[in-house]
Structure 1
Amino acid sequence: MTNRNLLFGSIALVVVAAAFAAVFGVWWASASGESADVRKTREEVSTAGSAAVATLTSLDFTDVDATYQRFLDVSTGSVHDDYAKNQEDFKKRIRDAKVVTTAAVRETAVTDVNLQKKVATIMVVVDTTVKESDKAPTTKRLRIEAALDQTDNGWKVNALRQVPYSAAQQ
């Protein structure tokens, strides 16, 4: 009988220990990780933000109106207002430059997301290839920080700035 009681007692202790481990494991995982909403939003911000930065760093002097409309489509706030306000000047500068610039995003990092304020910040590494009429194409790597707002039409860029590389960072 004693061995039998010892066996049942051991099984009961294992069950109780497993239950505690499960409960505390769930608490620990939920406390240390992001919520599903934040993870989903970070993915949305990364996808939309990197596409918007690629759009805003690409231009084609042979199709200025479409290029310019894409700029307006991916921007909001002061960036959008600046493009809208200076439309003819921007278009003239694009035509006069006579270049085609294409951007390829290499890496994107979401550095901040605020679900309540519906804002986010990303850092994007983008290679821009510039083709001037009769010259060989040149490629330049840029590091760009973009602030985004969540609008009714998705995430859009409201601020953009180039972040310089330093010798220590390369």
Structure 2
Amino acid sequence: MARPDLRIRDPLRAAVLALTVAAAGWAGWGGWSWYTAAHDDAAAYARERDRVLAAGEQAVLNLNTLDHRDITRGLDSWADSATGELRDQLVDGREEFERQIQRAKTVSSAKLLSGAVTELDARAGRASVIIALRITVTAPKGEPARKESRMLGELTRTPGGWKLSALGQAPVGNATAG
């Protein structure tokens, strides 16, 4: 039986075949790379870190924003942003907060300057953040008072997502020339 001649004599066909094989190889490699990156533990951890940061930033902004003209919505937002003992403190002190804000007739708002996740234990459902913000308090008379602040927050994963379980001022170090 005669063997067929498998050599390609047309250079155009040879180039098309080579490009087709190269494209198929490149597509296979790209698909495999995408699949492994999408199912990588580091990618899942990064997505969880991003969720923690977004929740922490929003919660800290919520707890530093309150308008005496719409105090119910503001205090509801405080309670919705927190869990555990922090939420208990906010709910238990709600009437006193309301009286203080109504008396002072202030409006406070916060603007996010920056934020970072400082700790994340996704398995245990605990995280810590540091948030820098500018807080503006406007009283009925006078100019608005602005203050930049760094807040440390602890978050806990709940069925409703990540929520603040503790919040406090970040210590500011005093650098002295010696």
Q: Smaller-chain TM-score range?
A: 0.7 to 0.9
Task: Indicate yes or no: 2:131 matched with 1:112.
Answer: no
Task: Indicate yes or no: 2:146 matched with 1:124.
Answer: no
Q: How does 1:4-23 map to 2 (within 5 A)?
A: none
AA of the residue aligned to 1:106? L
**2:42 matched to which residue of 1?**
35
Pick the structure with greater CA Rg. Answer: 2
**1:147 matched to which residue of 2?**
154
**1:51 matched to which residue of 2?**
58
SS at match of 1:166: coil
- Runs of 5+ consecutive residues of structure 1 not aligned to the other structure: 1-25
Q: Distance in 2 between matches of 1:87 and 1:42?
A: 31
The structure whose residues are more often helix, as a share, is 1
Per-residue CA deviation, residues 125-150 of structure 1 (Å, 9 max, x unaligned), is 01001111111112100000000011
SS at match of 1:35: helix
Q: Distance in 2 between matches of 1:154 and 1:84?
A: 19
Number of equivalences: 139
When structure 1 is superposed on structure 2, of 154-163 and 78-87 the one drifting more is 78-87
With normalisation by structure 2, the TM-score equals 0.73
AA of the residue aligned to 1:165? V
**1:80 matched to which residue of 2?**
87
Q: Distance in 2 between matches of 1:164 and 1:148?
A: 19
- Residues 1:164 and 1:135: Cα distance change in structure 2 (over 3 Å): farther
SS at match of 1:134: coil
Deviation (angstroms), 1:168 = 3.0
With normalisation by structure 1, the TM-score equals 0.76
